[in-house]
Each structure stands twice: as C-alpha cells, then as structure tokens.
C-alpha cells in the first residue's frame, strides 16, 4: 500500500516542517499561554498573536501548564488548538477513568457493548483465566459512551429528563481549558467519550443539538495521533486538515462552533513516550491490568467531546416551543401548497403561506435564534468513513 502523504496536514508541534502555505495560516496566541519562569524571553508574559473570541487580546492568566501552546488558524474564528495542554500524568489518569468508569452503565447509556460480558472487567478476567493474552474482541466494539445529558440518536436531541450526573472533576478540567482561551462561562453538561481503535474514523458532522449558541465544545485527545478536519458552516466548505496528538485540546467556539468537522484517520504507533512512561510507572493498579490498559491505548485513540446543553436563556422549554412553532408552520405550508395545486392557484401560494404563518403564530419574527435540532453526528455514529471531501483529504 502506498505511503500516505500528510504534507498538507498542519502540524502544530513542528511549525517549521509545515508547508509554506500552512505556515501562513497558523498564528500563535501567546497571550493565552503561561509564561515559563525559567525563560527570560517568556517570563514576562505573552503578547501578540491575535485575540480571544470577542476579538479582544486579553491575557487569561496562568490557566495552562507551562509549555502548552495556543494556536489558531486564519479564517477559522473562535477555533483554538492547545498543544501540550494535558500533561502525560493527566492523560494516563483520564485513560484509566475512561476505560474503567466512563464505559459503565452508571455513567452512560452504552450503545454497542450489549453483548454479555463485553466490558473492561471481562477483558481482565479473560486474561487471568488464560494466564495472559486478554481477549479484547468484544471490548473493541466500544465506540462511544455518554456522560451527563444523553443524546437521543433517534430524535436527534437531548432530553431534560434523560441524564446522569456530569462528573465534576471533568467539568472543572474542561471549563478551565475553555477559560484559558477566552470562553469564561462554559458548564459542561454532556460529554461524548469516543473510543477509536485503529482503522476507525468519524464522518463529517456538526454538533448542533446543544441549545446555547455561544458556548464552545472542548475536545481532548489521548493516545494515538489523528487527522482532524475542520470545515465551515456548509458541508461543501473545503476543510483544513491538522494533526491532533495525545494531550492536545481543540476548543470549537465562535464562528467555528457550528463548523463541519471529522476524524478520517487514526495514525497508529504514535502514542508519546511520556505517556507510556506515566502508564508503566503506575503502581495504583494491578500490574497486569495496567499492562492490558496500555495494550489497548497503544493501539487506539480516546477523545472527550464536551458541551453545554442549556443555559438560563436557551432552555428545553424554549426549544420545545420553537420546535412546535416550526412544525405548525410546516404543516400550514403543506396545507396551503396542497390547496394551491388543487385549485391551480400557485401564484397565490406565497401570500397564503404568509397568512398561514400569521395564523399559526410562527412568523419570522417569533422565537428566533434557537439552535437547530438536527445533529448529523447521529447519522455518522458508529464511526464511518464519509465519501465526501472530508475523507478524500487524508486517504490511506
């Protein structure tokens, strides 16, 4: 098989190795970074590199680890990549939580781990029973679990009454990352945990079921490197390709909150040595279980995708009212169109539609601003390779 050509993919970890075209797209936002006290050049604080989502260039203080770098891409307003945002020790700690806790029913409405015994304990037991060589067959089918509000894949929305408590430590962690790049008030209420064994992918989609339009998504990568595609408001907008590595965080806010995005490739054998070191020096787990976890992680990628679902203005009640108004409007239009075609009075249709809108109370002035209720992510999970420009950008 021919080698993949990744030369068009932005690499924030090695700026000098990017194409001239990509170098021209990348901007560093030092005002969001934590100055290294040992470095006389950065010790005095940042400066330059563009502003926050509101266009202001304000420093957010020392919310990121020393060594974390904040990047943005020209033309992708509101989108940030924070490299080295999650330390190796934190990556391993989250890995254990994701594998042992967040894959379980207490936290989640699992999708595809419905086979009896298809859980982490079963992997550990199979290994003990066989005296080594744990059986990952069923476990490897796990693609996602959900935290907090559970997404209803059929209705393509969240529901007020369908949730488990969102883990406080994860909210605190992600909200700080969002704050670090100028989004001060994110409250994570829903989280998709994505499990990507090698050879899996995620098709192009927009996450638009969350109601407040101004809160970003925080997306945390652990394990193998992936190619992340960031497009625009339409599927036809050509995406920009970038690597996301273990410990990197993408914050999708502002104009990019509703951008199409996808993960077309997981690149194996790319887990950083520091993460292996953190795993291998962990003495809090039985050594064999630790080794099994490492075996899984070394062939996979994990991702937290964290979102706020409602706020004081964008509530479930408002969403329901807006959906009902939309439905009434669509029904009224259907009746008018049918009547117009029966009576051959097509020219009257627009006028009649306007009257129907007034009668159904759903004219263009009402409601306004609520998030759309469709979520194409539903159609793309479990992960699948799409056939549009998104998969073309990083084919094998």
- Give the residues lining the site for ligand AKG (CB under 6 A): 192, 194, 202, 207, 219, 228, 261, 263, 303, 305, 377
Residue 193 to residue 141: CA distance in whole angstroms: 14
Nearest to 91 by CA among 252, 280, 279: 279
Q: Which is nearer to ligand AKG, 279 or 377 (CB)?
A: 377
The Cα angle at residue 40 between residues 38 and 46, in degrees rounded to 5: 100
Q: In what order do the strands lie in the sheet with 225-230?
A: 202-205, 261-267, 225-230, 240-244
Q: Residue 211 in contact with residue 157, Cβ under 8 Å?
A: no
Q: Which is nearer to ligand AKG, 60 or 246 (CB)?
A: 246
The position carrying tokens 């990121």 is 64
State in angstroms the smallest separation of the CB of 9 from ligand AKG.
14
Q: Euclidean distance between the first and final Cα of the chain, in Å?
A: 8
Q: Which is nearer to ligand AKG, 224 or 305 (CB)?
A: 305
State in angstroms the smallest separation of the CB of 250 from ligand AKG.
7
Counted residue by residue, the chain has a size of: 396
Phi, psi of 215 (to 5 degrees): -95, 135
State in angstroms the smallest separation of the CB of 301 from ligand AKG.
7
Q: Which is nearer to ligand AKG, 246 or 362 (CB)?
A: 246
C-beta atoms surrounding 320 within 10 Å: 13
State in angstroms the smallest separation of the CB of 130 from ligand AKG.
32
State in angstroms the smallest separation of the CB of 282 from ligand AKG.
25
State in angstroms the smallest separation of the CB of 393 from ligand AKG.
15
The DSSP secondary-structure symbol of 249 reads: E
Residue 344 to residue 26: CA distance in whole angstroms: 58
């Amino acid at each position: 098989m021919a080698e993949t050509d990744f030369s068009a993919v932005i690499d924030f970890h090695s700026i000098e190795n990017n194409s001239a075209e990509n170098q021209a797209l990348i901007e560093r936002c030092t005002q969001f970074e934590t100055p290294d006290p040992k470095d006389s050049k950065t010790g005095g604080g940042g400066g330059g590199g563009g502003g926050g989502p509101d266009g202001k260039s304000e420093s957010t203080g020392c919310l990121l680890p020393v060594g974390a770098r904040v990047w943005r891409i020209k033309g992708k307003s509101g989108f940030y990549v924070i490299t080295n945002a999650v330390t190796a020790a934190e990556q391993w700690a989250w890995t254990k939580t994701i594998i042992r806790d967040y894959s379980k029913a207490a936290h989640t409405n699992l999708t595809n781990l419905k086979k009896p015994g298809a859980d982490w304990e079963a992997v550990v037991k199979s290994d003990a029973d066989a005296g080594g060589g744990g059986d990952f067959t069923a476990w490897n089918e796990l693609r996602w679990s959900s935290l907090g509000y559970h997404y209803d894949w059929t209705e393509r929305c969240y529901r007020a009454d369908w949730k488990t408590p969102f883990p406080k430590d994860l909210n605190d962690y992600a909200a700080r990352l969002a704050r670090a790049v100028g989004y001060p008030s994110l409250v994570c209420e829903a989280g998709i945990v994505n499990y990507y064994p090698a050879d899996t992918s995620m098709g192009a989609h927009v996450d638009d079921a969350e109601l407040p339009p101004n809160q970003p998504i925080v997306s945390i990568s652990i394990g193998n490197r992936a190619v992340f595609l960031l497009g625009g408001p339409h599927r036809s907008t050509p995406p920009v390709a970038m690597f996301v590595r273990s410990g990197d965080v993408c914050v999708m806010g502002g104009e990019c909150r509703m951008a199409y995005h996808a993960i077309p490739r997981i690149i194996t054998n790319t887990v950083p040595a520091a993460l292996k070191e953190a795993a291998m020096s962990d003495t809090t787990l039985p050594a064999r279980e630790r080794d099994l976890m490492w075996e899984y992680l070394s062939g996979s990628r994990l991702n937290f995708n964290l979102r706020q679902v409602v706020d004081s203005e964008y509530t479930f009640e408002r969403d329901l009212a807006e959906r009902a108004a939309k439905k009434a409007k669509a029904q009224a239009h259907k009746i008018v169109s049918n009547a117009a075609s029966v009576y051959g009075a097509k020219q009257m249709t627009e006028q009649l539609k306007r009257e129907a809108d007034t009668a159904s109370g759903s004219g263009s002035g009402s409601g306004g601003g609520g998030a759309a209720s469709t979520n194409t992510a539903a159609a793309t999970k479990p992960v699948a390779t799409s056939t549009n420009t998104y998969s073309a950008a990083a084919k094998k």
